[in-house]
Amino acid sequence: MAPIGVQSAYHEDGELGTARACADLGVPFSISTAASTTIEAVRGAVGEDAPLWFQLYWPVSDDITASLLGRAKAAGCKVLVVTLDTFTIAYRPRDLDNAFLPFVTGQGNDIGFSDPVARRLFAQATDGETPESQPLLASRWWMGQAASGHARPWEDLAILKRLWKGPIVLKGIQHPEDARLALRHGADGIVVSNHGGRQVDGAVASLDMLPEIVEAVGDQLTVLFDSGVRTAADAIKALSLGAKAVMIGRPVIFGLGIAGQKGARHVVAGLLADLDQTMGLAGVQNIQGLNRGTLRSAEGTAKL
């Protein structure tokens, strides 16, 4: 499950509902830094054995970063997903038309507001205020940490490697040279993703870039795929082009919005069943049997 923030905006079950749905089906759930609940609450909702990952919107403060990663590790998150393409929020006309920026009023800031180091630094900056006493001010302050416009140089990956003793996956890779840089600076994996088309208008499709990126680094680090996966056929195309796994996002949130946890589970279960059936119809017995020979190009579009 791809990291998606503010899931309470779609249904009151929010991240807890989606996380439970994924846990029930054995699908790893990624907790977003922009979640509308805490890391600890997600772990409590799914039990000790459910696979969890943590996605980081990298704060300006290294002390806050260390605190967030410590909490994620304590909660048993196994993989750190670092989003590279959203160090600032893009110009999103539809959100502006609908006056939808939940972070400004505190929704989606739960992980920051609950963090002890972030709370201490906010209090120091505001003469003792708290997110409870000044929610709007705290929201602006937290956005200044998590979506500050402060792009990190590649060398800063060493900070995360020091703080996180586990796999680090960089999400938002769209160019072979960036994939090579990720490898050079010690990443364990990458996610080929254009953030679901939400960051750069007219961005190149992730699937179009996947073959070049796999060719550049695919035998040296784990390549995952995200953006545009709606059906099993979409997943099979990405897997056939060299991705080791795919992340699913919007379809699950559509299900969550319609029917909460049950809706999210229905979508995930349907995608898994669709994958099994489509592979059978394509004459493929397992994921390892998928390769570029599975596909044919028709007018520049990959077809099963």
| Beta carbons of 190 and 167 less than 8 angstroms apart | no
Q: What is the DSSP letter of 7?
A: G
Q: Which residue has the tokens 């579009």?
A: 301
301, β-bridge pairs: 298
Q: Which residues of 126-142 are buried (b: 16+ CB within 10 A; e: fewer)?
A: eeebebeeeeeebbebb
Pairing of strands 301-303, 296-298: antiparallel
| Beta carbons of 240 and 282 less than 8 angstroms apart | no
Phi and psi angles of residue 202, each rounded to the nearest 5 degrees, phi first = 80, 15
Using CA atoms, how far apart are residues 253 and 257, in angstroms rounded to an integer?
6
Which H/E stretch holds residue 123? helix 116-125
CB-neighbour burial class of residue 158 (10 A; exposed 0-12, middle 13-18, buried 19+): exposed
Q: Which residue has the tokens 């006056």?
A: 99
Asked about 195 being catalytic, the answer comes back as yes
Say which of 11, 185, 195, 266 is annotated catalytic: 195
- Catalytic residue numbers read 195
